[in-house]
Structure 1
Amino acid sequence: MFQQIISFLLLLAVFFSCTAPKQNEQPLSEIIDESLALATAQSLLMAESLKDQPDRLPQTIDKDGKLVTCNSAWWVSGFFPGVLWYLYENKPTETLKDWAVNYTLRVEDQKYTTDNHDVGFMIFCSFGNAYRLTGDTLYRNVIHTASNSLITRFNPTIGCIRSWDYAPWSAKWQYPVIIDNMMNLEMLEWASKAFSDTTYSHVAESHANITLKNHFRDDFSSYHVVSYDTISGKVEKKNTAQGYSDDSAWARGQGWALYGYTMMYRETGNEKYLKQAENIADFILHHPNLPEDKIPYWDFDAPDIPNANRDASAGALICSALIELSDYVPEAKSNEYLAVAETQLRSLSSPAYRANLGENGNFILKHSVGHKPNGTEVDVPLTYADYYYVEAMMRMKKKLSEHDE
């Protein structure tokens, strides 16, 4: 049965690619349907490949093209379950649902995580989507426990959730807060509403406010890391760990910021978050180093542009955020954001970035960058690139269907 499903999805993808006009003439809705069919087939192959390794989840590939996996404790563990849930939402089948449940439960033990901030990524991308689509209270209870775990990392003197505890960061910074941490606030805002407890939203909004105050430069680009003095609560250092330099604009970091403040506006209705999201979007979209295909270089200030590595994960993340942000702004800006998002989806869905079935370690997208200064995960697929790509397609598909109604 599994092979029959794979064969059907492959035939569907081939049908779209063979019967459509040239890509620049092909309707975006067809590109999305084709890409979601390919993503489903590819993700089912991935799920099947790890069926006998119940404690492993996809991470990337090595230099030989072999799949690299992680356990539930690594920060990316929740993304593949989330991909499966989005694909199930697109075309509900029992096979997809069974695999989505299987991989989601592989992450459940992280609901007790208190030694890093990534519990939001781990649990809300997996269990959050699971609860959204099934209403099963098991998933709801896991999110509740995880939210209680996450808020233990909040320091009221500083007003932020601490990001990292472990070496070597603990030797360099007293209290590091990274821009990525904005993404984990969504789980807390959700929990505040679901459990009628403002404790969670208080933490989330304090963190968002302090980050807005201290993480951004005058041009609305973001530092990666801001560290705080644990006694005074004041800023001690502003740095960038995964970008080119402390003063550069690390591409995925700008994406985390854009997505995070867009989400915070959705959750709170606070206009200052919307304004911040718009300012970040302006920085990204009007940057002279943003390529024509709108998939950014790994850092906007990389010294070897135009030969620098592209980062499909940053492109997918920014794309998904722009689609949502387009709902909250006047028509002119909305059209601008959607036009860029369409270009990004067409680019990511092209052979330049999208893998063929059975290749690329069964990941969907190629050409992402994890930690270039450290020389790790450079020009490889990354599980979170796939997550935000599939999320962006689902968001755009919904928007296109609303337009047709």
Structure 2
Amino acid sequence: MADWTTTTLQQIYQKTIASVQRLGPNNIPYMATAGQYQTNMVETDITWWTNGFWGGLLWQLNHYQANPELVTAAKENEVALDQAFLKYEGLHHDVGFMWLPTAVADYRLTDDDRAYWRGRHAADLLAGRYNLAGHYLRSWNRDRAGWVIIDSMINIQLLYWASEVTQDPRYKLMANEHANTVMQHHVRADGSVAHIVVFDPNTGAEVETMGGQGYGVGSSWSRGQAWAINGFALAYRHTHNLAYLETAKRVAHYFLANLTETDGIPAVDFRAPKTPVMVDTSAGAIAACGLLEIAQHVPEAEQALYQNAAQKMLKQLVTQYGDLNPAHDGILTGATTAYHDKAGQNVNLNYGDYYLVEGLLRLLGKDFLLW
């Protein structure tokens, strides 16, 4: 397995260098269409929630094997995101996705002062979304003051970082309260997860759950499951609260039990009709990273369950959906943005690529803590 992982990573590394050279400066890709990055998010929507994953992939690969072209492109990604701070109305809870893999990664690796303050700025924006009555960080904008989505469990890692570097407990306390609320209201007894829970912003009382990017109300959107696995496992890393680890394990067990229906590649929604068959490779890559995170924190007798499942899934993702041709942009096909988004089915997405690379590096023990 180590030989296969090393070979695959080397192919991805060379392919990424080729993509960096084709993209040129000041370019943040989102998805590859027909093997080519065609949309530059710097020009299209600098506040888009996925705009940090390209930089994160570059930092991870540079940590694996240093190359100045990767550093230059990662720094350009980070500088370009400064424009998002000026478009405050477009920013929401996903500032963690945007600045953890870029500015915070840069700071952790290079101790760059400007990167530090970018991360601090983003953390303060996230902290400003805290609802005192409901003990949660609100998701999205406009009239959604009571909305909380499961994706937020990754974003709160930005608050754990801010608390660590400032020695100010407020950030960590907000992250913990938010995680507790999500644990109580989003995660069901069987380990399935609701994508959206709506609260009364004045009282904090739960009002309803919504299907969001899954099939519908009461369903089980696989990428939401993956965010929960990864997010609660990371929250345990930062807090050592066993309730978070147990929650990550419960969601992981539900996720793994449902893989048998689609030959090891997660369906878009585990509770959707069996036809048409729809899969989401990005959910698989994210979940694999979460499984590997769990494996670091459980007793030795439990580690193989999570480690082996992650290894198997990552290999299946690459074997069935990996594009390792250096003449093509994008790595992982077969991703799906949302169950009912016809334009976003069987596509390449930059976050699927990022988590695939992180997972492969984790298998070799050569990643670094980005979250």
Which of 169, 174, 185 is the aligned partner of 2:156? Answer: 185
1:322/1:290 CA distance change after superposition, 3 Å? farther
CA distance in 2, matches of 1:139, 1:288: 40
Map of 2:296 onto structure 1: 327
Map of 1:12 onto structure 2: none
Map of 2:336 onto structure 1: 369
- List aligned pairs for 1:207-218, cutoff 5 A: 207-218=178-189
- List aligned pairs for 1:248-259, cutoff 5 A: 248-259=219-230
1:290/1:398 CA distance change after superposition, 3 Å? farther
Map of 1:357 onto structure 2: 325
TM-score norm. by structure 1 comes to 0.85
Contact 1:174–1:230 (8 Å) recurs in 2: yes
CA distance in 2, matches of 1:230, 1:63: 44
CA distance in 2, matches of 1:40, 1:288: 29
Structure 2 residue matching 1:92: 3-state secondary structure = coil
Displacement after TM superposition at 1:74 (Å): 0.5
Map of 1:8 onto structure 2: none
- List aligned pairs for 1:222-301, cutoff 5 A: 222-287=193-258, 289-292=260-263, 294-301=264-271
1:182/1:333 CA distance change after superposition, 3 Å? same
Displacement after TM superposition at 1:134 (Å): 1.4
Does 2:310 align with 1:341? yes
Which of 360, 374, 386 is the aligned partner of 2:353? Answer: 386
Does 2:95 align with 1:119? yes
Displacement after TM superposition at 1:89 (Å): 0.6
Alignment gaps of 5+ in structure 1: 1-27, 401-405
Residue deviations 1:316-357, cap 9 Å, x none? 00001111110111233210111111101211222x211032
Displacement after TM superposition at 1:41 (Å): 2.1
- Match of 1:77, as an amino acid? N
CA distance in 2, matches of 1:290, 1:334: 24
CA distance in 1, matches of 2:98, 2:261: 30
Structure 1 residue matching 2:218: 3-state secondary structure = coil
Map of 1:304 onto structure 2: 274
Alignment gaps of 5+ in structure 2: none
- Match of 1:331, as an amino acid? E
- Match of 2:332, as an amino acid? L
CA distance in 2, matches of 1:118, 1:271: 26
- Match of 2:64, as an amino acid? N
Higher relative contact order (CA 8 A, sep 6+): 2
Does 2:71 align with 1:94? no
Structure 1 residue matching 2:279: 3-state secondary structure = coil
Structure 1 residue matching 2:197: 3-state secondary structure = strand
Contact 2:35–2:330 (8 Å) recurs in 1: no
CA distance in 2, matches of 1:206, 1:341: 29
Displacement after TM superposition at 1:66 (Å): 5.9
Residue deviations 1:62-97, cap 9 Å, x none? 479662332321000000010000000111122222
CA distance in 2, matches of 1:96, 1:174: 39
Displacement after TM superposition at 1:358 (Å): 3.9
Structure 2 residue matching 1:133: 3-state secondary structure = helix
TM-score norm. by structure 2 comes to 0.92
1:174/1:97 CA distance change after superposition, 3 Å? closer
1:203/1:213 CA distance change after superposition, 3 Å? same
Structure 2 residue matching 1:236: 3-state secondary structure = strand
Query: Which has the higher mean CA deviation after the structures are superposed, 65-74 or 240-249?
Result: 65-74
- Match of 1:76, as an amino acid? T
Displacement after TM superposition at 1:233 (Å): 1.2
CA distance in 2, matches of 1:66, 1:58: 6
Structure 2 residue matching 1:227: 3-state secondary structure = strand
Contact 1:59–1:70 (8 Å) recurs in 2: yes
Map of 2:84 onto structure 1: 110
CA distance in 1, matches of 2:61, 2:82: 20
Sequence identity percentage: 30
CA distance in 1, matches of 2:348, 2:362: 22
Aligned length: 362
Structure 2 residue matching 1:368: 3-state secondary structure = coil
Which of the two has higher C-alpha Rg?
1
- Match of 2:334, as an amino acid? H
